[in-house]
Structure 1
Amino acid sequence: MARQFTLKKCVTAFSNVRMQEYFEARKIPIGIDLRHVAEEDTKPIIDAIGALPPDARAEVERDFQDAFSLGDEGGLKSILAEADDLGNDLTDHLSRIDGHEDKALWTLIHSPDAFEAARTWRTVETLNFRRHRKDLPKAAPPCDDHVKEKLSKALVAFFAKEARGRYCEVDIFVRDGSADPVTGEIKGGRTLYCAYPEDYATTDIGYDEHGKRKRRTRRTAFEIIFQYFHDEGRLSLYAKGDKKRALALQRIFIDQVLDMEIPFDLRGDRVFELDGLKNPSMAFPTPPEDGVEYVLLKSLRLSIPGEPGKRITIEASGNHNGNSSLPAQNLHAFLQESLDQEKMPLDRYRVTHATMQVKFPGKGHRGSVTFGITWPDSCSLRDEESHMRIKQYLKDWSIDRA
């Protein structure tokens, strides 16, 4: 989960020595020597940052927010992994620095490439990749400069039809998989292709360095992320737009990066199979070491193939009260009561959406993950640790058929 940012939280979390090092490295005149300010006295530091020119203040706020977002155990692991991939072992340096936030800020100053890669992966963990394609080569895709250029040019041409996307930069980040201790097979590798096409011009109202209000025109970029899972041959997409656009963007990736031509019908994107959820006896086993308290099936949406618009949604209500099977039993009982199976047997219906809940250890709602799966290729799970565990459960339960 992303850490909530405020400037005061950052100034409190970072040591004065580390912030002084940051301002000196960035050549931003802060007006005071932070080494002579008491650690608990945040006001003069916040005031000094607030007095900076708008562009410098925005740079500080952005950098502090990024470093703060990586200032925890998960962020440190990501920083060390990315630095190692770049051939830069930061373990010794970071072990001499107290506090996860200071370690992150030090990395921003001294190893910006590792920091940017770690920041990107942390951001990806918060996104919903809702479109998937599974019938692709089970291998690491190419990620050289030639591929970046091909993908960039193809996206520029695609968005030119919408009178935008004149420029498009592509960044690529790779996470190698790990060897299976038994088979030696490499599993779990992922590659990110982050594209930033130029968006339409926007106008906003702001203030210049003299405090005068001005209208400013900006050309921002929007984000498209392709995530490729090496050992699954799966392509996941993060992009705004409907399914038609998603298919077009997938086609661009497959053409330009994988250099393949494949038919774009529904067979390739049937990642999730939900019909088994109609069975009230379907079990949801999880590894004992994960400490899962319960798995709930909270809702089902059923549709009749060939008859668009005709669908039924069944929801479980009430409190489980520690009985993990009760809501599922209620849901299936209500399902049986609601359908006239003499006219339309249950096996004629297709489950096109399901809502589930997995409860990991934690008091109250802590540790609870509620998510939706839509047939054939959409899921609201993200890439943070607990969500990644659930993605593996979906495979174990034969819901994810990739």
Structure 2
Amino acid sequence: MGQYSHLQFFRHTPNAQLAVYFSSKNINLGIDLTRLKETEAEMILKAFTQLPDDQQAEIEAEFQDVNALACEGGIAALIDESRFHDDDGFVEAVAAIDGFHSKVMWAFLEKPTYWRGASMFLHADNVSPSFWKKRNDLPNLPPHVDDEDIDAFAQAISQYFYSQQGRGKNCKVEPYRRNDKEYFFAYPEDFAQSGVEWVSNTLKTLAHHPAFEIIFVYSESEGSLDIYAPKNTKVVPELQRHFAKTILKLEALKDGSIDQRVYDLAPLNDNDFEFKLEAVEGISSVVVTRMRLTLKQGSRRRIMLEADTKNNSKAVYDLLGELTLPKYHITQVGVKVTFDALEGKRTKTRTFNITYPNSCALNYDGSDLKIRKMLAESGIEPKAE
């Protein structure tokens, strides 16, 4: 989503929904939203800015939350959360509503218990794959997620960071189940900070205690644990052990390593290579748009090939064939996936890079999951070296 704007938000959200929202908070804007045209967003903005500052701040925070989920990924996260609540009618209901903002505002008003989980899922989905550290050799044990288990996990994280770094005195862990995976969002207390803030119409320097974030994603069926710990990657092995002890009830965890599987890019060197599109419904074409070649002789000698594939899907390969090159490895490819066009909608595409050994700029939700399955069927998926 782009930068939030009140005016843009009012333009995208139906007046009838805004009327329900303000009515639920017993706020009178002094205008009848149901009688306004959908194009008269300026009048709503003018009325909104007449509200007291504290009310505006509270509403703005909620509107920004709605705006953040008003996208395809946000809808997918809400659907995943609805499945946890066994709400079979949610998908049909949200599909009948036009526009992302309308869909999300409806969910905000009608399904408030879904909100926190969906927001957290979308946040995790937006983390770059390169930031996740994966271990895939854990025993296939069910996670323990009762209150006392979550409290013990939070206490273990707190004690570790407080003893090692002098921060993390307090910690909260929020667990969520998403399909067949368990998500744990941990918030240890960070070092105290001070900043300049506006309090009403006065500029003040205020001290506060922010939290830093760690995300754990566990799959019992895969025996895998993904950890997102920005600026704390060195402590990932310790975090794995604390997770295993408190959530999996393992007294000891053997020394392990980050997932060392690699993407096999060698097949892409063949001009006749074809991606297995029939393996997944909804994908109409896959094109290699660029290649990075690392020469076998010498150190850090690379060649980047890029060509216009709009009218020639093999343009990169044609360019490669025109060159006389020493021996090389393919260490990165740019890929463009085009999905089947849906009636009345623009054709969707997804462009991403795969980089040797094990970096792929795809997430693990929605259309990206389809692409990952296609890559697996095509023989490009990570394999143990």
Q: Are residues 1:201 and 2:192 paired?
A: yes
CA separation of 1:279/1:204 partners in 2, compared to 1, >3 Å: closer, same or farther? same
CA distance in 2, matches of 1:213, 1:132: 44
SS of 2:106's equivalent in the other structure is helix
Match of 2:126 in 1: 126
Match of 1:295 in 2: 288
Q: Which letter maps to 1:337?
A: L
**Greater alpha carbon shift after TM alignment, 31-40 vs 122-131:** 31-40
Once the 2 structures are TM-superposed, how far is the Cα of residue 381 of structure 1 from its aligned partner?
2.0
Once the 2 structures are TM-superposed, how far is the Cα of residue 78 of structure 1 from its aligned partner?
4.0
Per-residue CA deviations over 1:138-175 (Å, capped at 9, x if unaligned) read 46533322332122112212321222222221111112
Superposition map of 1:185-200 within 5 A: 189-200=180-191
Residue 171 of structure 1 is aligned with which of 169, 174, 198? Answer: 174
Match of 1:317 in 2: 306
CA distance in 1, matches of 2:94, 2:311: 44
Once the 2 structures are TM-superposed, how far is the Cα of residue 291 of structure 1 from its aligned partner?
0.7
Match of 1:146 in 2: 148
Match of 1:181 in 2: none
Contact (CA 8 Å) 2:289, 2:306: kept in 1 or not? Answer: no
Match of 2:221 in 1: 231
CA separation of 1:174/1:53 partners in 2, compared to 1, >3 Å: closer, same or farther? same
Match of 2:382 in 1: 400
Contact (CA 8 Å) 1:108, 1:115: kept in 2 or not? Answer: yes
For normalisation by structure 1, the TM-score amounts to 0.76
CA distance in 2, matches of 1:148, 1:374: 37
Q: Which letter maps to 1:174?
A: R
Once the 2 structures are TM-superposed, how far is the Cα of residue 311 of structure 1 from its aligned partner?
4.2
Superposition map of 1:10-21 within 5 A: 10-21=9-20
SS of 2:157's equivalent in the other structure is helix
Match of 1:217 in 2: 207
Q: Which letter maps to 2:167?
A: R
Aligned length, in residue pairs: 371
**Greater alpha carbon shift after TM alignment, 217-226 vs 81-90:** 81-90
Q: Which letter maps to 1:206?
A: E
SS of 1:199's equivalent in the other structure is coil
SS of 2:308's equivalent in the other structure is coil
Q: Which letter maps to 1:135?
A: D
Contact (CA 8 Å) 1:298, 1:328: kept in 2 or not? Answer: no
CA separation of 1:126/1:74 partners in 2, compared to 1, >3 Å: closer, same or farther? closer
For normalisation by structure 2, the TM-score amounts to 0.79
SS of 2:273's equivalent in the other structure is coil
Contact (CA 8 Å) 1:286, 1:292: kept in 2 or not? Answer: no
Q: Which letter maps to 1:220?
A: P
Contact (CA 8 Å) 2:307, 2:319: kept in 1 or not? Answer: no
Contact (CA 8 Å) 1:395, 1:401: kept in 2 or not? Answer: no
Match of 1:371 in 2: 353
CA separation of 1:382/1:94 partners in 2, compared to 1, >3 Å: closer, same or farther? closer
SS of 1:227's equivalent in the other structure is strand
SS of 1:122's equivalent in the other structure is helix
Contact (CA 8 Å) 2:158, 2:188: kept in 1 or not? Answer: yes
SS of 1:69's equivalent in the other structure is helix
CA separation of 1:82/1:385 partners in 2, compared to 1, >3 Å: closer, same or farther? closer
Counting aligned pairs with the same residue, the percent is 25
SS of 1:295's equivalent in the other structure is strand
CA separation of 1:22/1:277 partners in 2, compared to 1, >3 Å: closer, same or farther? same
CA distance in 2, matches of 1:297, 1:140: 43
Contact (CA 8 Å) 1:134, 1:233: kept in 2 or not? Answer: yes
CA separation of 1:381/1:43 partners in 2, compared to 1, >3 Å: closer, same or farther? same
CA distance in 1, matches of 2:93, 2:277: 37
Contact (CA 8 Å) 2:196, 2:204: kept in 1 or not? Answer: yes
Q: Which letter maps to 1:256?
A: T
Once the 2 structures are TM-superposed, how far is the Cα of residue 297 of structure 1 from its aligned partner?
5.7
Match of 1:105 in 2: 105
SS of 2:129's equivalent in the other structure is coil
Per-residue CA deviations over 1:318-347 (Å, capped at 9, x if unaligned) read 33454444435756997x8345xxxxxx7x
SS of 1:232's equivalent in the other structure is coil
Contact (CA 8 Å) 1:134, 1:232: kept in 2 or not? Answer: yes
CA distance in 2, matches of 1:70, 1:35: 24
Per-residue CA deviations over 1:287-311 (Å, capped at 9, x if unaligned) read 244112413562255799xxxx954
Q: Are residues 1:360 and 2:338 paired?
A: yes
5+ unaligned residues in a row in structure 2: which ranges?
Answer: none
Contact (CA 8 Å) 1:140, 1:191: kept in 2 or not? Answer: no
Match of 1:185 in 2: none
Match of 2:370 in 1: 389
Contact (CA 8 Å) 2:185, 2:213: kept in 1 or not? Answer: yes
CA separation of 1:325/1:169 partners in 2, compared to 1, >3 Å: closer, same or farther? same
Per-residue CA deviations over 1:10-60 (Å, capped at 9, x if unaligned) read 112223332232233345565555445444322232233334444432321
CA RMSD of aligned residues (A): 3.7
Contact (CA 8 Å) 2:78, 2:115: kept in 1 or not? Answer: yes
Q: Which letter maps to 1:149?
A: D
CA separation of 1:112/1:258 partners in 2, compared to 1, >3 Å: closer, same or farther? same
5+ unaligned residues in a row in structure 1: which ranges?
Answer: 177-188, 340-345
Per-residue CA deviations over 1:79-131 (Å, capped at 9, x if unaligned) read 34423422456648768876553342233234322122222222222222332
CA distance in 1, matches of 2:236, 2:104: 35
Match of 2:237 in 1: 247
CA distance in 1, matches of 2:58, 2:86: 28
